[in-house]
Amino acid sequence: MSGPRATPRSSASLAQRAIGDGLVIAVLGGWWLLSQEIPGFLLPDPVEVGKSLVAFFITPSLLADTVTSAARVVAAVVLSVILGGALAILPYRWPVFDAIVHERIKPFLNSFPSTGWAILAMVWFGTSSASVVLVEVMILTPFCLINIAEGLRELDVELVEMGGSFTRSRRRVFFKIIMPLLLPYTVSSVRIAYGVAWKIALVAELFGATSGLGYVMLKAQIVSDATTVLGTCFAIVALFLAGEKLVINPLSRLVAYK
């Protein structure tokens, strides 16, 4: 999406900063005031929620849940990038698979609801990390497939042809030319998959796990502990932002090609 823009996205004026940060402060302030008036199970005190958020990264037992969820998310992202990439490359190499991948597997995975996978995984595999990762992989794979297939479609044909004139080894062309050209698309599918993964991690863990943030949240919900429910939600926002800023953004700067 290129084209003339009124203002570049990055530069923010003083007024913008003031209103943007003012909004955050106003919302937090309003929340605090409101929470003083109404009971805690309806709207917990933001300070308590903040403590609960911090606890997810400090208290050993909760930190274990945080780490478990994060490990599942990372495993699921890696597996679905591999699986989605393989599914995208299959019809590129053998066109006969085109309809199988793009008209059967893709729409099927794309419209299959995550709650459906979560319940089926629980019935089939019980509550385990494998169940959770399975649910996440099933949901993330179509995102990776779509992105990497897009990369293959945008592939510079002349570059690949040139590669073909230097070597007749398809493997060499694949690893030396196609793979590097696909890298930006792979990273963007990691980015998308990572964002989606954190959202469905909760759904997956609500049913299929006895550990992880989703499980903590479910336990809190049962005893109407709104503080922990909100704390979990914010912990996920924090983890998501940290992963994006510390891992995915540097990664995409690394592979961005001019």
Residue ranges binding another protein (CB under 8 A): 1, 3-7, 9, 12-13, 15-17, 19-20, 22-24, 41-42, 91, 95-100, 103-104, 107-108, 110-116, 119-120, 122-124, 195, 198-199, 202-203, 206-207, 214, 217, 221, 224, 226, 229-230, 232-233, 236-237, 240-241
Q: How far is the CB of 245 from another protein (least distance, A)?
A: 12
Residues 213-252: b if buried by 16+ CB within 10 A, e if exposed: bbbbbbebeeeebbbbbbbbebbbeebbeebeeeebeeeb
Q: How far apart are CA 154 and CA 94, in angstroms?
A: 18
Q: Are 70 and 242 in contact (CB under 8 A)?
A: no
Residue in the block written with tokens 């409101």: 34
Q: Which is closer to another protein, CB of 121 or CB of 177?
A: 121
* CA-to-CA dists, residue 250 to 1, 189, 243, angstroms: 22, 15, 10
Q: How far is the CB of 230 from another protein (least distance, A)?
A: 7
Q: How far is the CB of 147 from another protein (least distance, A)?
A: 12
Q: Which is closer to another protein, CB of 23 or CB of 64?
A: 23
Q: How far is the CB of 226 from another protein (least distance, A)?
A: 6
DSSP helix/strand/coil, 211 = coil
Closest-CA residue to 211 (of 52, 53, 60, 67) = 67
Q: Which is closer to another protein, CB of 89 or CB of 217?
A: 217
Q: How far is the CB of 135 from another protein (least distance, A)?
A: 12
Q: Which is closer to another protein, CB of 42 or CB of 58?
A: 42
Q: Which is closer to another protein, CB of 30 or CB of 116?
A: 116
Closest-CA residue to 230 (of 189, 202, 195, 194) = 202
Answer left, alpha or beta for residue 224, where phi above 0 means left and psi between -120 and 50 means alpha.
Answer: left
Q: Which is closer to another protein, CB of 9 or CB of 258?
A: 9
Q: How far is the CB of 175 from another protein (least distance, A)?
A: 26
Q: Are 77 and 140 in contact (CB under 8 A)?
A: yes
